[in-house]
Amino acid sequence: MTLVAVQWLRAAAALMVAWYHARHEAGLLAARGVGAAPDPATLLPWWGGVDLFFVISGFVIVHASRDLFGAPGGRARFLAHRVARVVPLYWLVTLAYLALALARPSLLGEAGALARDPGYVAAAFLFLPAARPDGTVLPLYGLGWTLNCEAFFYALFALGLGLGRRGAVAWLWGALALLVAAGSLARLPLPFAFWADPIVLEFALGATLALARADGVRLGPASRLGLAGLGGLGLALAAQILPEAEASGFARPLCVGLPAALLVAAAALGPARDRAGIAALPAPLRWLSALGDASYALYLVHPFALRAVREGLLAAGLAPVLHPYPWGSMLLMLAGSAAAALLVHRWVERPMTRAARARLDRGAQNRGAQNDVRAAAGPVPRGPAER
């Protein structure tokens, strides 16, 4: 059973970030004298797709770990699955970016020089926050800052797995709140200063929604539609009152994280669907669900795809045709990013994840073998240890 509405939100979050960067690419086209730059006024805070991702991640991690709380070896299994899910594709993309930085450093500005710093590069691969010369805390592949937050959240959650579901969520809230409070009251050193950003509280918001679902909380269609409407309205309001340059500190989780949590609540507290139910959906919703599956790939590869489509439009002489308004080129860039993500997810990400999980979670193979033996032998009474 799949919470398909959560999949749609994952796709929406990745598309928001991709659209945000597509606006930047369209601005570069305008800087070359091709058409007009996008209007600075926006309907939504497109960078807020990251906040939506964080709330979804908090929900999904707790919801998907329901069989691991207090289970023998649960912590090791959780970490093995997280490493298999996150690390291979991120390392591959970072390697590609590193190769480009070393081969053509002038194309990437400061990152081209940083690629020759072994300590900085190592920190990027180890998900450790590291500062650039100008003081900004970003890994070599800039998008990876969100994964530095995710990796910290995974480690923190793993520590609380033995406390049960409620205990783990309470541990998350306590640890994150304490860290954020410390960061607000004192000047912490890296990496703690990075992890103490109030945006990490959005993980706890999602975790709380997973606890509510596990406790049987379900909402009807009207209630979920109302929550979704309030969430969308909250994001639209945030776009008007919170410029990106001011989206820091507690303002970001309050103005963007809370509306994102309303959207996730609308998606997560409804019914799940089986494969037949998903197959019965209209084609656009099935495609959106597939893009939700590929949302991690979309997040990581869209900068490459955006730039490739932009340069292709210039080379083909099509960029001026799509103007004076930039939306045509931006939509093509977004479509190219989605297509690239679906291909990478199908042919690169999934095989790498399966291979990494098989290597890291040896117990899964043993459990699969035991299930095959039991299935062949017929029903087997459960012993005391299995009850």
Q: With a cut of 90, say whether residue 373 has pLDDT above it.
A: no
Across the range 297-320, mean pLDDT stands at 90
Across the range 293-316, mean pLDDT stands at 94
Across the range 243-259, mean pLDDT stands at 92
Is residue 262 domain-resident? Answer: yes
pTM: 0.92
One-letter-per-residue 3-state SS of 272-328: CECHHHHHCCCHHHHHHHHHHHCHHHHHHHHHHHHHHHHHHHHHHCCCHHHCCCCHH
Q: Total structural domains in the chain?
A: 1
> In the prediction, which pLDDT does 292 show?
96
Is residue 378 domain-resident? Answer: no
Higher per-residue pLDDT: 352 or 376: 352
Is residue 372 domain-resident? Answer: no
Is residue 192 domain-resident? Answer: yes
> In the prediction, which pLDDT does 186 show?
95
Task: Say how many C-beta atoms besides its own lie within 10 A of residue 23's C-beta.
Answer: 19
pLDDT 10s digits, 27-74? 888 777 777 778 777 899 999 999 999 999 999 999 999 999 988 999
Structural domain containing residue 245: 4-364
Across the range 309-327, mean pLDDT stands at 79
111 Cβ contact list (under 8 Å, min separation 6): 97, 101, 140, 142
Higher per-residue pLDDT: 107 or 234: 234
Is residue 292 domain-resident? Answer: yes
Q: With a cut of 50, say whether residue 298 has pLDDT above it.
A: yes
Q: With a cut of 50, say whether residue 178 has pLDDT above it.
A: yes
Task: Say how many C-beta atoms besides its own lie within 10 A of residue 8's C-beta.
Answer: 16
Is residue 331 domain-resident? Answer: yes
Across the range 216-229, mean pLDDT stands at 97
Task: Tell me how far CA of residue 359 lies from CA of 78, 194, 355, 356, in angstroms.
Answer: 14, 32, 6, 5
Amino acid at site 279: A
> In the prediction, which pLDDT does 326 show?
76
For residue 2, name the pLDDT band (cuts at 50, 70, 90).
Answer: confident
Is residue 379 domain-resident? Answer: no
pLDDT 10s digits, 255-274? 999 999 999 999 999 999 88
Is residue 61 domain-resident? Answer: yes
Q: With a cut of 70, say whether residue 181 has pLDDT above it.
A: yes
Across the range 331-335, mean pLDDT stands at 94
